[in-house]
Amino acid sequence: MKVLFLNPPFLPRFSREQRSPAVTKSGTLYYPIWLATAAGVTEDAGFDVDLIDAPARGYDRDFIYGLARKGGYDLVVLDTSTPSIYNDVEIGSRIKEMLPSSFVVLVGPHVSALPGESLKLEPAIDAVARREYDHTILELARTLSGGRDLSAVNGLSFRRNGDIVHNPARPFLGDLDSLPFVSKVYKRHLNYRDYFYSHSPYPILTIAASRGCPFKCTFCLYPNTFSGHNYRTRSPGNVVEEIAYINREFPGVKTIMFEDETLTLDEKRVQRICDLMVERGLARNWSGNSRIDISWETLVKMKRSGCGLLCAGFESLDQRVIDGIKKRTDVETMKRFLINTKKLGIHVNACFMVGNRGETLDGIRKTVDFIKKYNPYTAQFIPMMVYPGTPDYEWAKEDGYLQTEDFRQWCTEEGLFNSTISRPGLSAADLTAFCNYAKKRYYLRPVYLWMKVRENLRHPGEIRRNFRATRLFLKNLVKGY
């Protein structure tokens, strides 16, 4: 059986697997880490697998259709997202038309939240693999190969005699050490130079050391719709073995990015990973997604092992808003985190979601003053985005704040973030305008521009990355995005 894992074409450089899928102003493009891991699981089981990332390679629909026709695939696994869902099912339908004996299955957070609705969009689509799908796809491939009944494949929603059947949910995978190193899958199928994070030295390679997040933030896409709130981890030794593999097999990679939802939840475990890296001579530049409530002791060990940057969600400076979105943090902890990381020389990408429930324009204006005072390495301002399957999506629908359920509107025509939430005193246009205002106020300051000049002078290897990110950012500012 031949299996195609496809990140389908949409808009140029569309980053499907990030928490808010979009074309980013800075040019950041995520790896298809979930798709790649599932491809590795299926390939290791003996199936003939291709993994194609169309946005990363710049492939258009015609190229993908030609590839599919030539490949003659029996099973086609299509990644999806909310803004691209109509595009994605159209591509799946066309592949099914060309390969009528193939089985086309959709994956990703959007279809996990709306499996029945997604299947109704296009009758040619055969199924949805809900939530984490590594072993759902493997079991599906084995079932199709053996001509067995699909009703035994947990986690699958599929068509049967004109009806849509939802099989029982698949339990979340507990033994993450059993998964193949995703970096090995990248090496076989992808070009690591296609991927770019504006905040970290290029080239970059992303892996994950854990899955799930126990926190219940009302806006967060992946834990609420896909990976769940059951926090599961790889063993420190297993993580460090993959770092050793990357150091050996990807000598050109300058950054390893931990794309966990909450890398630093278990601080003792993080400390052990860092200690092992140092003990084995594997310390190197790395970045990760982090909570802000990290102890000084853990930060010290992270820095010693090579941590260069942490991406952290701040979201708001209004404690009532923070409590309302169940963020479980506070402003004093934010300040301490920024002060401690600056002392250690760890860069911070501070992320703010503007317009959370309970927030006002007067309240969010304080954000810029706060962030200018503490001056993190980068600051990200995104208008409130609500996705199917999250509590915020249900809140917006129930209170009449959701302007549309046409999922194309979750991005602009150019693919940039586009809020669909308007409420009295705070419209979607207000949120977008404030994000643009905040970015200009933050990044066009003389002190910030001089910081980037000094960085380029001290680290000439970073000139290309900084120039690329700055060029795209300024281009979008001129356009008013």
Is the confidence at residue 400, as pLDDT, over 90?
yes
State mean pLDDT over 456-463. Answer: 71
pLDDT higher than 80, residue 468: no
* Residue 189 · residue 38 · CB < 8 Å: no
Q: Lowest mean pLDDT: which of 182-186, 269-273, 299-303, 462-466?
A: 462-466
Least confidently predicted of 98-112, 239-253, 453-467: 453-467
Residue 470 has pLDDT above 70, yes or no: no
Please determine, for residue 476, whether its predicted confidence score (pLDDT) is greater than 60. Answer: no
pLDDT band at 362 (very low <50, low <70, confident <90, very high): confident
Residue 467 has pLDDT above 80, yes or no: no
- pLDDT tens for 129-158 read 999 999 999 999 999 999 999 999 999 999
Specify the pLDDT at position 446: 85
pLDDT value for 449 = 79
The percentage of the chain sitting over the pLDDT mark of 90, rounded to a whole number, equals 81
**What pLDDT sits at residue 464?**
65
Q: What's the confidence (pLDDT) of residue 166? A: 98
Beta pairing class for 210-211 and 232-233: antiparallel
Q: Is the pLDDT of residue 427 over 60?
A: yes
Distance between CA atoms of residues 461 and 467, nearest Å: 11
Per residue in 38-58, pLDDT tens?
Answer: 999 999 999 999 999 999 999
Output the pLDDT for position 366: 84
Number of H helices, E strands in the chain: 19, 15
Q: What is the structure's pLDDT at 466?
A: 62
Whether the CB-CB separation of 387 and 457 falls below 8 Å is answered with: no
pLDDT digits (tens, 9 = 90+) for 285-307: 999 999 999 999 999 999 999 99
Q: Please give the average per-residue pLDDT across 327-337, as a whole number.
A: 95
256 neighbors 293 (Cβ within 8 angstroms): no
DSSP H helical segments within 280-381, as ranges?
Answer: 296-305, 319-324, 331-344, 361-374
**DSSP string covering 162-186, please?**
TEEEEPPPPPPP--GGGSPPHHHHH
pLDDT digits (tens, 9 = 90+) for 366-377: 888 888 899 999
Asked whether the beta carbons of 322 and 329 are under 8 A apart, the reply is yes
| pLDDT exceeds 70 at position 481 | no
Tens digit of each residue's pLDDT (9 = 90 or more) over 1-37: 999 999 999 999 999 999 999 998 888 999 999 999 9
Q: Please, what is the average pLDDT of the chain?
A: 93
Please determine, for residue 228, whether its predicted confidence score (pLDDT) is greater than 80: yes
Structural domains of the chain, ranges and CATH numbers in brackets: 2-166 (3.40.50.2300), 197-382 (3.20.20.70)
Mean pLDDT score, 384-394: 96
Determine the pLDDT at residue 432: 87
